Amino acid sequence: MTDDKTQPPVETSTIWGGRFSTGPDKIMEAINASIDFDQRMYAQDISASMAHAKMLADKEIISAADADTILSGLETIRDEIERGDFKFSRVLEDIHMNIENRLSTLIGDAAGRLHTARSRNDQVATDFRLWVRDALDYLDGNMKDLQAALLQQAHTHSGSVMPGFTHMQTAQPVTLGHHLMAYVEMIGRDRGRAADCRARLNESPLGAAALAGTSFPIDREATASALGFCSPMANSMDAVSDRDFALEFLAFASILAVHLSRLAEEYVIWSSQQFAYVKLGDAYTTGSSIMPQKKNPDAAELIRGKAGRVIGALNALLIVLKGMPMTYGKDMQEDKEPCFEVADTLQLCLVAMAGMLTDTTFDVERMSTDAGKGFSTATDLADWLVRVLGLPFRRAHHVTGAIVKLAEDKGCGLEDLTVEDMRTVEAGITAEVFAVLGADNSVASRVSLGGTAPANVRQAVAAAHKRFLDDG
Ligand code: ARG
């Protein structure tokens, strides 16, 4: 819309206003209109209308000439919107009626034939499925980029030793590469959930019309395949009334947001002075307005915090849909904003997380020193007692506990005890035991499938490249 001559202002909706003598109250308009947000689906709406118009002409429900006029009018509208020349009107409620109204200004009567055998109910369900499908596709790319950033650091640090934690207490030494690879797996499952959601949502509601189907001889297979859907939805009432695909999208998103918040939290912990495992680059931190020495991990904190919105969006839509009688109700207009917001939030978080990871320097010395603290190789000692002295594991656990107590009383590490010290607890112990007590030895010995040994991590990185990054 460029000026008032080409697109006159609308008082009442010319589209449904036949039985209305006055226009809606301003407040009604404000609560009813979705155009402020659903204009994001303009491209999907135009594609779906094009597929519908072509099908109507192929089935001789409208003339080929009318279909051609409709198609070129829709192309003009797409250009206008993309150039920023389209004036969206709240009086026209939503993206569907804004586009149809403009079409009628542009091409006249033929525009009125586009809505044959269609309702806004199947139209919005179709557009929204297409939009969520697109969002899943670009988020998959963002998740893949994050995996690539994780893999890069995991590769660099396949042999960097750090403490592994349970209960946030030092447990056993691990490699940093192994720790980061855990997130590669989590994000891999998130991508799997996104793919499952995409596969299930990829059926076409178009042609369900208002709720009951239509008496026109439409071809739903044709519109479905033109829009890249694998098939038409089987039941017209289900097609216009369920939004489980949006719930699945938000559920996948919530789990991903939880994963991102965990990694973000580790960054916050690791960048504290007490840990000092990572030095965040300047690009993903901020300073304090009062404390000149501060460098705060804001990006990580925000990623951690944004999980709240994402989970909130899932809850919001679950509550909107709960108890809704069949079929469409205007409540369903509340489905879009949570999904739009979540897609934007996650994209931002994924890109920021990948950037932050790439911009991070790990203090491997410090991590490695910490890895040996807290009697972290106690399990290695117990395993040695089983392997070399043939003790039952439960007995070995007990003996090791007593040796840990001895070291604790002496205020030293396990590796600082003498063999004589240890023999006071278990007479069979020899000096060979020291070979398993260092953190490096411990880590190198964890070669079981899925274990933390550097050799395993290098293999896991190579395998993950194939599983997650190579196309095809
Ligand atoms: N803006 C509406 C929505 O998002 C479009 C469908 C309107 N359908 C109706 N019967 N009023 O749900």
* Nearest residue by C-alpha to atom 4 in ligand 1: 333
**Nearest alpha carbon, ligand 1 atom 1:** 94
Please check the confidence at residue 472 and state whether its pLDDT lies above 80: no
Nearest to 251 by CA among 185, 182, 193: 193
- How does pLDDT run across 368-395, given as a tens digit for each residue? 999 988 898 999 999 999 999 999 999 9
Is 288 an active-site residue?
Answer: yes
Predicted local distance difference test score (pLDDT) of residue 61: 98
Interval between CA 125 and ligand 1 midpoint (Å): 9
pLDDT score of 130 more than 50: yes
Does the beta carbon of 94 lie inside 6 Å of ligand 1?
Answer: yes
Which has the minimum average pLDDT: 94-108, 142-156, 428-442?
Answer: 428-442
Residue from 63, 72, 231, 288 carrying the catalytic annotation? 288
Taking the centre of ligand 1 as the mean of its atom positions, its distance from the CA of residue 457, in whole angstroms, is 52
Does the annotation mark 261 as catalytic? no
Residue 11 has pLDDT above 80, yes or no: no
* Residue 98 Cβ contacting ligand 1 at under 6 Å: no
Report which ligand 1 atom has the smallest distance to the Cα of 210.
10
- Whole-number average pLDDT of the chain: 94
Q: Are 377 and 172 in contact (CB under 8 A)?
A: yes
Q: Does 311 sit in the ligand 1 pocket, CB within 6 Å? A: no
Q: Does residue 322 surpass a pLDDT of 90?
A: yes
CB 45 within 8 A of CB 99: yes
Q: Please state the rounded mean pLDDT for residues 234-243.
A: 98
Whether the CB of 129 sits within 6 Å of ligand 1: no
pLDDT for the residue numbered 280 = 81
Residue nearest to atom 12 of ligand 1 (CA): 333
Inter-residue contact 154 to 185 (CB < 8 Å): no
- Residue range 241-246: average pLDDT? 98
Name the DSSP letter for residue 468: I
> 153 in ligand 1 pocket by Cβ < 6 Å?
no
> How much distance in Å is there from the Cα of 57 to the middle of ligand 1?
25
Q: Which atom of ligand 1 is nearest to the CA of 128?
A: 4
- Phi/psi at 228 (5° precision): 80, 15
Tell me the whole-structure pTM to 2 decimals. 0.92
* pLDDT tens per residue, range 168-222: 999 999 999 999 999 999 999 999 999 999 999 999 999 999 999 999 999 999 9
Question: E-strand spans in 369-467?
Answer: none
Beta-bridge partners for 279:
361
When pLDDT is averaged across residues 113-138 and rounded to a whole number, the result is 98
